[in-house]
């Protein structure tokens, strides 16, 4: 049995290993398929357009207008007799106008706000990139754990079947009671139910994984046997908290939003300032020849000048918008404080998740060795008659349960490590590559 179970587990988990996908290849496929990341990419493209839109307020505007009109005038003169006349002619013309803002302070402030808005879009996209790394890794680990759970249930069922057959043989020859058979049968029925649940869970996890890359690979590479996990660097909780309070993406977004809110106060107050524009026009008007009038007219005109506008009173709207902007700045300041506190909390939780996970891995590795020894000694005791069948079944159950918990602890620790990097705002593809090297 000691040789059969490892072979069974390896055969179940490594099926299709020749064409198995690794974590990095899955991540790159997700970049091109995941709808959530595609939406973030489009949002980034849209956010970058804020800057040219704001720049347009600093550049000249040029317009062209043209018109044509048919004129038909009938007139009657009543002086010493009635005289009627009719004038028919066409007028047409065009005008080109140019307006160059010289002093519009609110437009300059809006341009500075647009730069911060682009920074927000960039930070949001960076958050989306870190999020897809975490989601891909979690989905990958979920499938690995579900596969391991199913393989463990199947291996446990084989071990219980062997013990059930042994109990039946011993009962037939009179060396054990029917109770041993019933206990083994109860354990068998229970593990069958666990196998069904594990099969269903694996199907669910595979569908969730498929939603990220659009297909299901032939297999997934699993963690190397006897993997030695390393603690995060630096191994100092306070350092990670400091990095999170300044480098977390949510903090960067909140900081940029605060800068925008502060600029908004300045922009609204600029509504009280005068504006100065350079205005120039060039046009032509023409009137076609009229036989009645006996003439036609062509006129060209050009103008250039300065246009000054001084706002005096706008019904209190500008002052109200100023007060609104001040209140929104206070809100942005509170949001920044909340973002820093939340980032610090996330960093603490992720760091403790890594450190406690490493401790659990060490404990389960020791427990696995002890559980295997318990199974061996219990089976030997059963063979010589000092142990009963239930003792063997319980020892086997403990062994499989410990093996399962060890696999889960390793995967949870790696996921916590990626979440720690994300909480500090430093998670990148190179971190995924480092985890990928831990796969077979």
Per-residue confidence (pLDDT) for residue 176, from 0 to 100: 65
The pLDDT confidence band at residue 394, using thresholds 50, 70 and 90, is: confident
Query: How far apart are alpha carbons 324 and 360 in whole angstroms?
Result: 53
The pLDDT confidence band at residue 139, using thresholds 50, 70 and 90, is: very high
Report, as an integer, the average pLDDT of 93-119: 95
Topology at the third CATH level for domain 4-33+104-273+311-436: Outer membrane efflux proteins (OEP) (1.20.1600)
294-344 residue pLDDT tens: 567 888 999 999 999 999 988 899 999 999 999 999 999 999 999 999 999
Is the bond preceding 185 in cis, omega lying within 30 degrees of 0? no
What is the pTM (predicted TM-score) of this model?
A: 0.82
Contact 50, 121 (CB under 8 A): yes
Q: Regarding predicted confidence, which is higher, 159 or 189?
A: 189
- Domain borders along the chain are 4-33+104-273+311-436
Report, as an integer, the average pLDDT of 372-386: 82
Report, as an integer, the average pLDDT of 58-85: 79
Q: Percentage of residues in the chain with pLDDT exceeding 90?
A: 59
Per-residue confidence (pLDDT) for residue 40, from 0 to 100: 96
Rounded to the nearest integer, the mean pLDDT of the chain is 87
Distant-in-sequence contacts of 346-349, Cβ < 8 A, 24+ apart: 346/244, 346/248, 346/419, 346/423, 347/237, 347/240, 347/241, 347/243, 347/244, 347/248, 347/420, 347/423, 347/424, 348/237, 348/240, 348/241
Report, as an integer, the average pLDDT of 144-165: 85
Contact 250, 337 (CB under 8 A): no
Contact 389, 176 (CB under 8 A): yes
Least confident of 165-169, 181-185, 387-391: 387-391
Per-residue confidence (pLDDT) for residue 175, from 0 to 100: 58
């Amino acid at each position: 049995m000691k040789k059969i179970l490892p072979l069974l587990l390896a055969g179940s988990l490594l099926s299709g290993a020749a064409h198995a996908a690794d974590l990095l290849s899955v991540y790159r496929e997700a970049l091109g398929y995941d709808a959530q990341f595609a939406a973030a990419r489009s949002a980034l493209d849209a956010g970058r357009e804020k800057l040219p839109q704001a720049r347009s307020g600093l550049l000249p505007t040029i317009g062209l207008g043209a018109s044509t009109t048919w004129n038909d005038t009938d007139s009657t003169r009543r002086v010493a007799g009635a005289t009627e006349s009719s004038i028919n002619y066409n007028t047409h013309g065009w005008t080109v106008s140019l307006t160059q803002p010289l002093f519009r302070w609110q437009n300059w402030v809006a341009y500075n706000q647009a730069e911060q808005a682009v920074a927000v879009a960039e930070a949001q996209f960076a958050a989306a990139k870190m999020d897809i790394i975490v989601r891909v890794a979690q989905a990958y680990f979920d499938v690995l754990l579900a596969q391991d759970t199913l393989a463990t249930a199947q291996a446990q069922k084989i071990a219980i079947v062997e013990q059930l057959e042994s109990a039946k043989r011993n009962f037939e020859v009179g060396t054990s009671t029917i109770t041993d058979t019933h206990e083994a049968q109860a354990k068998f029925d229970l593990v069958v139910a666990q196998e069904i649940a594990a099969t269903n869970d694996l199907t669910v996890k595979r569908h969730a994984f498929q939603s990220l890359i659009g297909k299901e690979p032939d297999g997934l590479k699993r963690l190397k046997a006897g993997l030695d996990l390393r603690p995060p660097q630096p191994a100092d909780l306070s350092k990670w908290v400091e990095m999170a309070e300044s480098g977390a993406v949510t903090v960067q977004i909140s900081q940029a939003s605060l800068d925008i809110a502060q600029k908004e106060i300045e922009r609204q107050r600029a509504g009280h300032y005068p504006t100065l524009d350079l205005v120039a026009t060039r046009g032509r008007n023409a009137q076609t020849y009229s036989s009645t009038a006996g003439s036609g007219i062509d006129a060209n005109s050009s103008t250039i000048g300065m246009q000054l506008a001084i706002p005096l009173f706008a019904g209190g709207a500008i002052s109200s918008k100023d007060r609104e902007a001040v209140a929104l700045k206070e809100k942005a300041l509170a949001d920044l404080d909340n973002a820093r506190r939340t980032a610090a909390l996330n960093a603490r939780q992720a760091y403790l998740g890594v450190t406690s996970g490493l401790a659990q891995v060490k404990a389960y590795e020791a427990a696995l060795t002890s559980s295997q020894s318990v199974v061996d000694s219990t089976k030997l005791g059963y063979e010589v008659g000092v142990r009963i069948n239930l003792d063997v079944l319980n020892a086997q159950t403990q062994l499989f349960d410990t093996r399962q918990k060890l696999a889960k602890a390793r995967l949870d620790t790696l996921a916590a490590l990626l979440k720690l990097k994300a909480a500090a705002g430093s998670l990148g593809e190179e971190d995924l590559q480092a985890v990928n090297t831990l796969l077979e």
